[in-house]
């Protein structure tokens, strides 16, 4: 049981790190003047393995 608890704690820490990275990236995008829709569009194209930067221009 202790092992499962430790694993869950590790998973939660990884999730928190990932969330912090996303927040940091979104703040950088905002500071660069990108709208929420532009960020969504970028992520959508990035997920489809397209050159997303070109699509924002």
Mean pLDDT of the chain, nearest integer:
72
Q: Which residues contact 45 (CB under 8 A, 6 or more apart)?
A: 51, 52, 55
Query: What angle in degrees, to the nearest 10, is found between the helix axes of 36-47 and 2-31?
Result: 120
Instruction: Give residues with Cβ within 8 angstroms of 53, minimum separation 6.
Output: 42
Dihedral sign computed on CA atoms, order 16, 17, 20, 25: negative
pLDDT at residue 33 in the model? 92
Structural tokens at position 35 = 């709208």
Residue 38 has pLDDT above 70, yes or no: yes
Q: Give the domain extent around 49.
A: 2-56
Q: Give me the pLDDT at residue 7, please.
A: 60
Overall number of domains in the chain: 1
């Amino acid at each position: 049981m202790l092992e499962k608890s430790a694993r869950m704690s590790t998973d939660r820490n990884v999730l928190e790190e990932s969330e912090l990275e996303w927040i940091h990236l979104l703040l950088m995008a905002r500071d660069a003047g990108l709208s929420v829709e532009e960020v969504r569009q970028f992520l959508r194209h990035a997920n489809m393995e397209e050159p997303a930067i070109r699509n924002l221009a």
